[in-house]
Amino acid sequence: MAAATIVHDASEAVELCASYGLYLKPITKMSISVALPQLKQPGKSISNWEVMERLKGMVQTHQFSTLRISKSTMDFIRFEGEVENKSLVKSFLACLDGKTIKLSGFSDILKVRAAEYKIDFPTRHDWDSFFRDAKDMNETLPGERPDTIHLEGLPCKWFALKDSGSEKPSEEVLIKVFKKFGEIRNVDIPMLDPYREEMTGRNFHTFSFGGHLNFEAYVQYHEYAGFIKAMNALRGMKLMYKGDDGKAVACNVKVSFDSTKHLSDASIKKRQLERQKLQELEQQREEQKRREKEAEEKKKEEERKQKELEELERERKREEKLRKREQKQKDREARRNKKKLEKMQAEEQKKLQEKIRLEERKLLLAQRNLQSIRLIAELLSRAKVTLESCLFRIISRANKNEN
């Protein structure tokens, strides 16, 4: 789907659901083809941009809302142009169709053909013939008859519940918007079903070129009249959103009738069964994940405990090693102290023995001195006696001589 474009003139818009700012605006497209001449001069080419600018200049006072190249070949350039209002299409076609362009540097004239864009939209004949000829359809059953509209390219934000804070589309809003055409039997927004992508193998989250998230939806009416009224209202229209600020944007929406029995009772039941199986499978997966997670956590816990035990064992060994080292250090210190003590005791013993020897020597010397003194005293005593005896004899002799 193309990106949403700004709407400058919303005068032709038709109300769809005013409470959600949704309107239908006529598609005002045209197809423009410019025939290219045979290029005779090598290396020379026609500028697509220059042709586009010439086309813009041909519409005089008006201007295109959008103008883009849809196809470019050696023979022609095809453009898709869009204008603001349906009433302008005829005047644009009058300015373009059958006219010519003369490009600078080229002698040949470029012929322009313009026509109103043919919208790809199913007709009543399309769905009537489809359901009439379909062998596997029972038109008495809902979903197997023309009662369901398939819409693609709906912007999610435009169908989100107000003040919900979410940009997801709501089935409640979808019903409110499309019940205008008749009583709705059922709706389905595949992207809201978390199992649908797995069930179908499709991706329901699609983006427009503007980066906005789009969705597809199925709207089933109770009566054929509601279906017809909705298809007629949507034919040749694009969806327009007008914000609270008055600014409006519009986007093209692909509309078709459902040819796949999407909202038939059998299809709904089949999806419910598939969803139930997927839910059971998801529960089994979740249970398996839970068991695997528990096993992983148990394994991690055991590993943690094992690491703690290993760490404790390493710590014990470190402490044992440290204790042995400390014990060795203590033993070495004790041996050193013992040796030091023995050495000190030996030195003390030696000093004591030296002191005893000195004392013994002193004692011996004292004894010798005492003996010498005694001997001298004895000698002196004997000398004294001898002297006294000699003196006595002398005196006695002298006395005798005197007499």
Task: Examine the pLDDT at 39 and tell me if it is beyond 80.
Answer: no
Give the CATH number of domain 124-263.
Answer: 3.30.70.330
- The pLDDT of 2-17, averaged and rounded, is 86
Q: What is the pLDDT of residue 377?
A: 83
Q: What is the pLDDT of residue 180?
A: 94
Task: Examine the pLDDT at 186 and tell me if it is beyond 60.
Answer: yes
CA quadruple 65, 71, 77, 79: dihedral, nearest 10: -20
Q: Find the length of the chain.
A: 403
Task: Examine the pLDDT at 224 and tell me if it is beyond 90.
Answer: yes
CA quadruple 101, 104, 107, 113: dihedral, nearest 10: -20
Q: Per residue in 55-88, pLDDT tens?
A: 998 887 788 888 999 999 888 999 999 998 888 8
Strand partners, 184: 221
CATH class for the region spanning 28-116: alpha beta
Domain spans, the chain:
28-116, 124-263, 285-344
- The pLDDT of 302-318, averaged and rounded, is 89
Task: Examine the pLDDT at 208 and tell me if it is beyond 60.
Answer: no
Which alpha helices (H) appear in 235-264, and where do they start and end? none
Q: Judge contact between 79 and 89, C-beta under 8 A.
A: no
Task: Examine the pLDDT at 201 and tell me if it is beyond 80.
Answer: no
Task: Examine the pLDDT at 47 and tell me if it is beyond 90.
Answer: no
- The pLDDT of 93-121, averaged and rounded, is 88
- The pLDDT of 230-236, averaged and rounded, is 95
* Segment (H or E) for 377: helix 265-402
Task: Examine the pLDDT at 226 and tell me if it is beyond 90.
Answer: yes
Residues 125, 370: Cα–Cα separation, whole Å: 166
Q: What is the pLDDT of residue 211?
A: 45
Q: What is the pLDDT of residue 346?
A: 86
Q: What is the pLDDT of residue 386?
A: 84
Q: What is the pLDDT of residue 212?
A: 60
Q: What is the pLDDT of residue 242?
A: 93
Q: What is the pLDDT of residue 210?
A: 45
Look at residues 55, 19, 36 and name the one whose alpha carbon lies nearest to residue 162.
19
Q: Judge contact between 180 and 17, C-beta under 8 A.
A: yes
Q: What percent of the chain has pLDDT over 90?
A: 39
- Among left, alpha and beta (phi > 0; psi -120 to 50; other), residue 154 is beta
Q: What is the pLDDT of residue 368?
A: 87
**Do the domains at 28-116 and 124-263 have one common CATH topology?**
yes
Q: What is the pLDDT of residue 199?
A: 62
Rounded to two decimals, the pTM is 0.69
User: Which residue would you say has higher pLDDT here, 107 or 28?
Assistant: 28
Residues 6+ apart with CB under 8 A from 238: 24, 25, 26, 27, 250, 251, 252, 253
Q: Judge contact between 283 and 45, C-beta under 8 A.
A: no
Q: What is the pLDDT of residue 209?
A: 41
Q: Per residue in 281-301, pLDDT tens?
A: 888 988 999 999 999 999 989
Q: What is the pLDDT of residue 59?
A: 87
Q: Per residue in 149-185, pLDDT tens?
A: 999 999 999 999 988 788 889 999 999 999 999 999 9
Task: Examine the pLDDT at 101 and tell me if it is beyond 80.
Answer: yes
Q: Residue holding tokens 């499709």?
A: 202
Q: What is the pLDDT of residue 207?
A: 46
Q: What is the pLDDT of residue 31?
A: 94
Q: Per residue in 343-376, pLDDT tens?
A: 888 888 888 888 888 888 888 888 888 888 888 8
Q: Which residues of 303-335 are buried (b: 16+ CB within 10 A; e: fewer)?
A: eeeeeeeeeeeeeeeeeeeeeeeeeeeeeeeee
- The pLDDT of 316-336, averaged and rounded, is 88
Q: What is the pLDDT of residue 403?
A: 65
Question: What are the two backbone dihedrals, phi and then psi, of residue 102, each rounded to the nearest 5 degrees?
Answer: -110, 115
User: Whole-angstrom distance between the N-terminal and C-terminal Cα of the chain?
Assistant: 190
